[in-house]
Chain A
Amino acid sequence: MQRRTFIKNSSIAAAGLIYQPSLAFKEDPLLGQGNKRYRLNTHWSKADVAKNPVNDCHEIVQDSKGRIILLTNETKNNVLMYDKAGKLLTAWGSEYPGAHGLTLFNENGTEVLFICDNNRHQVIKTTLDGRVLLTLDYPKETGEYTKAEEYVPTEIAIAPNGDIYVADGYGKDFIIRYDSKGNYISYFGGRGNEAKHLLNAHGVCVDQRNPAKPCLVVTSRQQNAFKRYTFEGVYIDTIPLPGAWVCRPVIKGAYLYAAVLQSNSNLWKQSGFVTILDKNFKVVSNLGGSEPKYADGKLDEMYQTIKYFDYPHDVCVDDEENLYIAQWNSGKVYPYKLSPVG
């Protein structure tokens, strides 16, 4: 919160304290509906803004040691590693001006990171302390690209066999598949009028909740939808999320979580929220958003209802089911933490 706002609100609260002292101890409202409700902590990060500033906070993951790893396009420190209480443990990285996508993968017992850089038009695989292991340039093998600038990767997902899927979400909306060594295999998606096509393919993840039918879940953000594909890139179906500019899908346990950058009903006016879907891809809770309602199996338009967030960009779910929300273009705020209630 900006200092000026704080001072302004303080005087209102002071008056309230004199005449209505009970107000001072009013509980903060909970975010969300049903059994997915949370309490918000906007002061989770204890990082010193003078030493470790952030710009856009794009994505967050947790490693097996429990550390919360944040990726920002602030080149003073592209990667900030926290403990769950918000204490900054370490920071590294100055060579990722377009740091956008962050995915963690356990490679035969060793955890590695994949970073998508919008500005460098590259995907970079690193160790947890930032040593570069592999760099993937623009996929000219597809025949779809004539220069690096046409390729603006936003997300990476790693299949159980180690295959790498890169979403070109700000470029041509293709999903490009490589083997674990980074050898090009194939591509799918792209723009067009068919159901299999994508518009702003901002995220991709592997869904293994149904072991018999594992698949890829891909974001088609401007279409307000997720789309499912096989690992070979064959389109399966679409999960419409009317009104919601969903970012990447994040699966933890039986649920799928996604930051919603903004509401279609109120574009470019800080109208974001967070959505949670169950294992049948049914929306069960919107944090700071409208109560999900289905009529004849069709989901009603969703929208922000309470301005807790500006432009949420990613959700990380930790080992204790807490959520961490990274935000784009939201006054350079550090991530917020949400703790489950009940």
Chain B
Amino acid sequence: MQTRGHPNRLGIRGWVAGGRWGFERYLYTLHRLTGLGLLAYFAMHIFVTSARALGPESWDRAMDVVSGPLFAVGEYLVFAAFAFHAVNGVRLALIELGYAVGRPIEPVYPYATSVGRQRRLARAVVMIAAVIALWGGLDFFVLT
């Protein structure tokens, strides 16, 4: 996109090393990385599960290919990425719609910023995503 006045000089490097950034900026980086990972998995997933169209033998063969401990760990990573991307996505949608950023107030000392309001939500996102990822880990590896 043509940005007026402020070109994106840092490029991909800006995802991790752009200066003194807040916590939310790293959630942004993680949201992108998990998003790209989920998209790559999803494209593969469409092909692997399309084996269902050709009947049970084809399905079982496809499931045999993607079995084993390596795929189990990979699948779990996809689950964890989903947990983070979903919960952080809810945060982004809430902020997009103007929730959880606080009311506009007079700029009177000591200044309150919306960052202070958002930080609690960001912490909650990490905690909820961690709980879902742990729950998934329990189901993936312990209760099978």
Tell whether A pairs with B.
no
